[in-house]
Structure 1
Amino acid sequence: MAEETVTKTFILSDSNEMIGLVGVNNHNLDVIAGELGVTLNPHGDQIRIDGDSKHGSMAYQVLTKLSELQRTGVKLAEQDVLSAAKMAQKGTLEYFLDFYSQSIIKDAKGEPIRVKNFGQRQYVNAIQHNAITFGIGPAGTGKTYLAVVMAVAALKAGEVDRIIVTRPAVEAGESLGFLPGDLKEKVDPYLRPIYDALHAVLGTEHTARLMERGVIEIAPLAYMRGRTLDSAFAILDEAQNTTPEQMKMFLTRLGFNSKMIVNGDISQIDLPSKKRSGLVQVQRILKGVNHIEFIYFSADDVVRNPVVASIIAAYDVVEKDAADRRAQSDKETN
């Protein structure tokens, strides 16, 4: 039985706050309404909330937090509004303002870089307190970007001497040999997300200078074999495409005064069908090991366009149904 619709009224202490809170053409209110399934109508210094009791209360709490954030001088963006709405649904809204109380570092434009949601906060906290952190979840959750941010922050603080970023070039396969240029030029397209993150945080020219000096190294995973990474911040991206042997090889490169981040999305494995993913296997092998932590992201943690989270959730449903059918078929066969 559907819950009865109730009406709440959110009143702003200052009518001048209304424009920033509701957004251009009421876009911020539309984002909240879409996430929480309520109707929001602004009028004067008030916003009328229509919906069931539970979601109406959530919407009121979200508006309260956003209003408080706006009064600190933060100009609300869609990501802020979306994050607040998702945190309300997950019961973590009480931590929302904490995200804005401190920044990790400033980007190339001088803007503070902060976590966007509770999942990212857990991820950053795990990196700060562990030697190896695994970030597992869908694209768009900020795993790669935050890994680069944390690496740059450690470099600037003098905690490490260099940053090493790697990933397997599985998608290239044998076609690598047919691509023009040397090995670096052949694998660079697969490392584009890393370059984009570094350029956003450090700037293009500064990144180039650090790479020329060897302070930042971006290389295929095969280049890690036989090395010991002391005083380094190492990032393995797209780790779902490592074999178990490659994963072990990378993890055992960890040297003194070093940190590692291993990121991947186990729903996007590009390995040949007969090969196992090292990222899938390592979760079982290293579970519970000291100084190693696994952080799992979901579609709710996506910080891209809200449609991306909906796409991921829809695919998850289909893939779960397919997995259930395969399991049932195997059971009947046996």
Structure 2
Amino acid sequence: TSTRKALVTPKTLGQQKYIDAIRGHDITVGIGPAGTGKTYLAVALAIAALREEKAARIILTRPAVEAGEALGFLPGDLYEKITPYLRPLHDALHDMLPAEEIQSDLERGIIEIAPLAYMRGRTLNHAFIILDEAQNSTTEQMFMFLTRLGHDSKAVITGDLTQIDLPPHKHSGLVEACHALRKIEGIAIVEFQRRDVVRHPLVQRIIAAYEEHRGRQK
């Protein structure tokens, strides 16, 4: 278990704030640039909750923007089309659990990885739910997701407001949620800064250079 616990070790103050927020709230929104550990830490905490029997299952979801979230094709086709968009969630799991354990948990429904559209009409009880890349959810999808939360469940919503891939006429559900939910007790919104980037040292500098470049263009 010591190696598992080490996975939830914050490297920055922003990460510590995020971990504390997730532990202390039923819904936590983590916003910030790539490489800040938003998804990784949420998955690590979800696995810890499962091990400590604070959650019966983990549900990992993200909007499949490029696939248009369309569900009008056969399950086999669906799996092939959707898998690339869910890959980062698989990657985070594989960093923390043996492949056989992941496979077994997926088969038994203890871990579920699915596109956001698959959450519709469900009530998610006794679950640790992570909505990744939430900036690419529409306002309708985000409202749908937020109202799925059932008994003894915890949700973590992650996103980067500078990376919205929605069509121009669609508004980001994450942007709306951040405004609408800011004052609700039980919901935490944590904003990561550039200094929280824990990938290759160059990544911080790349983000800074782009921010400066885009600032000059405005």
Same fold (TM over 0.5): yes
Please list, as runs of the form range in 1=range in 2, the aligned pairs for 1:22-33 lying within 5 A after superposition.
Answer: none
For 1:223, the equivalent position in structure 2 comes to 118
2-structure distance, mates of 1:205, 1:284: 41
Does residue 1:106 correspond to 2:3, yes or no?
Answer: yes
2-structure distance, mates of 1:294, 1:264: 11
Does residue 1:302 correspond to 2:189, yes or no?
Answer: no
For 2:103, the equivalent position in structure 1 comes to 208
Higher-Rg structure is: 1
Please list, as runs of the form range in 1=range in 2, the aligned pairs for 1:103-252 lying within 5 A after superposition.
Answer: 106-107=3-4, 112-113=6-7, 114-173=9-68, 181-252=76-147
Give the C-alpha shift of residue 184 in structure 1: 1.9
**8 Å contact from structure 1 (residues 105, 153) kept in 2:** no
Count matched residues: 216
Please list, as runs of the form range in 1=range in 2, the aligned pairs for 1:52-71 lying within 5 A after superposition.
Answer: none
For 2:158, the equivalent position in structure 1 comes to 263
- Cα-to-partner distance string for 1:265-324 (whole Å, 9 max, x where unaligned): 0100000111110111111100110000000111111001111011111111223334xx
**8 Å contact from structure 1 (residues 198, 207) kept in 2:** yes
Distance 1:105 1:313, change over 3 A: farther
Say which SS state the counterpart of residue 250 (structure 1) adopts: helix
**2:3 is aligned with what amino acid?**
K
**8 Å contact from structure 1 (residues 210, 216) kept in 2:** yes
2-structure distance, mates of 1:181, 1:236: 23
For 1:38, the equivalent position in structure 2 comes to none
**1:191 is aligned with what amino acid?**
L
For 1:291, the equivalent position in structure 2 comes to 186
Instruction: Structure 1: give runs of 5+ residues left out of the alignment.
Output: 1-103, 326-334
For 1:61, the equivalent position in structure 2 comes to none
Distance 1:175 1:258, change over 3 A: closer
Distance 1:285 1:174, change over 3 A: closer
Distance 1:105 1:222, change over 3 A: farther
2-structure distance, mates of 1:320, 1:289: 32
Give the C-alpha shift of residue 106 in structure 1: 2.6
Say which SS state the counterpart of residue 193 (structure 1) adopts: helix
Say which SS state the counterpart of residue 155 (structure 2) adopts: strand
**1:287 is aligned with what amino acid?**
R
Distance 1:253 1:309, change over 3 A: same
**8 Å contact from structure 1 (residues 133, 261) kept in 2:** yes
Distance 1:164 1:175, change over 3 A: closer
Give the C-alpha shift of residue 200 in structure 1: 1.2
Distance 1:208 1:174, change over 3 A: closer
**8 Å contact from structure 2 (residues 63, 69) kept in 1:** no
2-structure distance, mates of 1:131, 1:174: 26
**Under a length normalisation based on structure 2, what TM-score does the superposition of the two structures give?**
0.93
Percent identity between the two aligned chains: 57
**8 Å contact from structure 2 (residues 69, 115) kept in 1:** no
Give the C-alpha shift of residue 252 in structure 1: 0.4
